[in-house]
Structure 1
Amino acid sequence: MQQTNRPELVATCWLTAGAAAPLTADERSPERIEDRVRVAAEAGFTGFGLLHADLVTVRDTMGYSDFRQLLVDAGIQYLELEMLVDWFRDDSAGEASALVRRDLLNAAAQLPVRHVKAGGDFSGSPWPVEAMVAEFRTLCEQAADAGTRLGIEPIAFANIRTPADALRLVEDAGHPAGGMVLDVWHLGRLGLPMSVVQDVPVEAIVTTELDDAVDEVVGTLLEDTLNERRLPGEGTLDVVGFIRAVRATGYTGPWGLEIISHEHRAKPMAQGVHDAVRAALAQFALADEAAPQA
């Protein structure tokens, strides 16, 4: 049976951030939060993403009460917050991560936060599995107490690289608030078939993300993911296959649009958002078509 309803979309944090770039000295968006929320709502998003740096700005300027009303007035139903890294460390990086964790979970207790995104070690360094599992379980407990879920994202250049890696962590932690974030970019850059997604239990999928990439990696994988992502359908990744594989699990949740690139940052913010929506909906239309007969 074909899917006919418009997919539920999340404007991930970088989609509306304008000229801001990840892992820079100042990651804060130059765009007004009121404009970001308005543009996302006008483009048909029901979910809205915020980076920790922008969340802190919102907290310290308008406050959470006024921000919550801004979301309600715009018809935005929930938030996605990111990005929690180094949560498994016991050094100075771990101390900094604990402060980010506090901010994200405090916000989740006061705002309609559907989920918080987390990642593994971007250097790919191995960490004791038992320690990571124990701390992830603690994170899940804290997320549940704040009324939200925690999604670990398999990242092509991190120590948690594949959906199988993420599922192992989630299952070993054994807490229902824990799950994973599935991004077609990371599967594609690892050369994984999109069918691997069908091995993930639907209850373990917190959210999904769409984007695209060309065949050639530009620079390192980290540089490529921060600067060269393409709109869905404008690269060579099997975005349609990813959508179909995720749907085959029974997943009916939201789809985030995460476009991070020099090209996206150079566009007027509203244009970049609307371009991404048009591109994504075209891929859903293809996925809705009947699969070819063997």
Structure 2
Amino acid sequence: MAEYPEFILAHGCLGPVSFEERIRAAAEAGFTAIGYSVLEFNALAAEGVTLDDLTGTLKAHGVRVSELEIALGFDAGFNEPGAGAPPRWGPPSFPFDVPCFDGATQVALLEMVERLGPDHVNVLGTYGPGGSRAGERMAALCDRVSAHGATVAVEFMAGTSVPDVPTAVGLLADVDRANAGVCLDTWHYERGAHAPGALDALASDRVTVVQISDGPRRPANPDDYFAETMHLRRFPGDGEWDLVGMLRGLVARGVRAPWSIEVLSDEVQAMDPGAAARALRASLDQLAREVFADLPNAGPVGI
């Protein structure tokens, strides 16, 4: 029987609610897996929240963290001994004042990998030109998380040192680790890294996760990538991209990666968290029905 991929409620979709409210909304909408942010946990830890608090909430609702975000500028080397203070990641238009991946963030991330047991950890390259040791540095992260069964997934994005699929494929060759893969974000693919046939070069077993959102063919503001990226993404089916065709192509090639819905939208964040989670789940269910329409025995996972 062909099964739908596992569905993940990505970090950042719901509004500024407590961790417990987010997990409750996810569980009630039928999600058994979520994405979470090491950067958010660092902020909560400063207020006295512990990983025991998080794991207790997850267990109570039957939800797990399967996707852990994000090592921004993993290839810059600021997480290594003797490195100086990390600079801010991204251009001035990036809406968060967070530094490149540094030693303290790495310690927190590795503890979360050990305690929460995510399937994959997403990393982004340096904004602008990256260092010459990107493969070596990603390999080191792969080695650190391998004991806990996690994969390191590089998320390509225009403007970073890993801007597109070919660069990501080349990086994986340099990394040469079984637990190295790619996070295929439909937004970043359509907005900045789209090229006919590009996905054909990506081996099916290297697609670690597909992050899903929709959008218009033309960006609302071509001069500010992050304004639309962080505020105007659309539900699958509400935009103009051929998500069904893309996903059918991936499935036909043997990709069985989970789908992580990442609709970063002011409209969604303004909704009641429960209603937002249900709407996000419903859009994934509809998308899966269309993608797997010609597979009569296809069915959902975990519900």
With normalisation by structure 2, the TM-score equals 0.82
Equivalent residue number for residue 22 of structure 1? none
Distance of 2:135 and 2:184 partners within structure 1:
19
Q: For each residue in 1:98-151, what CA deviation from the matched residue of structure 2 results, as whole angstroms up to 9, or x when unmatched?
A: 2212211111111221111111123xx22344x111111111111214442211
Say whether residues 1:255 and 2:259 are aligned partners: yes
Q: For each residue in 1:251-279, what CA deviation from the matched residue of structure 2 results, as whole angstroms up to 9, or x when unmatched?
A: 22311000112212222222222111112
**Alignment counterpart, residue 216 of structure 1, candidates 190, 214, 218:** 218
Distance of 2:196 and 2:44 partners within structure 1:
37
Say whether residues 1:231 and 2:217 are aligned partners: no
Q: How does 1:8-87 map to 2 (within 5 A)?
A: 8-16=6-14, 18=15, 30-57=16-43, 59=45, 61-87=48-74
Equivalent residue number for residue 130 of structure 2? 127
Quote how far apart the aligned CAs of 1:71 are.
Answer: 1.8
Equivalent residue number for residue 93 of structure 2? none
Distance of 2:204 and 2:189 partners within structure 1:
17
Pick closer, same or farther for the CA change 1:46–1:199 going to 2, 3 Å.
Answer: farther
Distance of 2:192 and 2:209 partners within structure 1:
20
Letter in 2 for 1:65: D
Verify the 8 A CA contact 1:178 1:204 in the aligned structure 2: yes
Distance of 1:45 and 1:194 partners within structure 2:
33
Equivalent residue number for residue 113 of structure 2? 108
**Alignment counterpart, residue 163 of structure 2, candidates 161, 164, 173:** 161
Gaps of 5+ in 2: 78-83, 88-98, 296-303
Letter in 1 for 2:150: T
Pick closer, same or farther for the CA change 1:54–1:242 going to 2, 3 Å.
Answer: same
**Partner secondary structure for residue 206 of structure 1:** strand
Equivalent residue number for residue 154 of structure 2? 152
Equivalent residue number for residue 92 of structure 1? 85
Letter in 1 for 2:86: A
Q: For each residue in 1:12-55, what CA deviation from the matched residue of structure 2 results, as whole angstroms up to 9, or x when unmatched?
A: 11123x1xxxxxxxxxxx31211111111111212111122332
Equivalent residue number for residue 204 of structure 2? 202
Question: Identity percentage over the alignment?
Answer: 22
Equivalent residues, number: 274
Distance of 1:249 and 1:103 partners within structure 2:
36
Distance of 1:85 and 1:139 partners within structure 2:
13
Distance of 2:159 and 2:100 partners within structure 1:
22
Return the structure number with greater helix share: 1
Equivalent residue number for residue 176 of structure 1? 178
Distance of 1:78 and 1:226 partners within structure 2:
22
Quote how far apart the aligned CAs of 1:165 are.
Answer: 1.2
Letter in 2 for 1:285: R
Letter in 2 for 1:158: T
Distance of 2:244 and 2:51 partners within structure 1:
38
Distance of 1:120 and 1:106 partners within structure 2:
22
Pick closer, same or farther for the CA change 1:249–1:72 going to 2, 3 Å.
Answer: farther
**Partner secondary structure for residue 39 of structure 2:** helix
Quote how far apart the aligned CAs of 1:93 are.
Answer: 1.9
Q: For each residue in 1:273-293, what CA deviation from the matched residue of structure 2 results, as whole angstroms up to 9, or x when unmatched?
A: 2111112221211112239xx
Distance of 2:121 and 2:111 partners within structure 1:
12
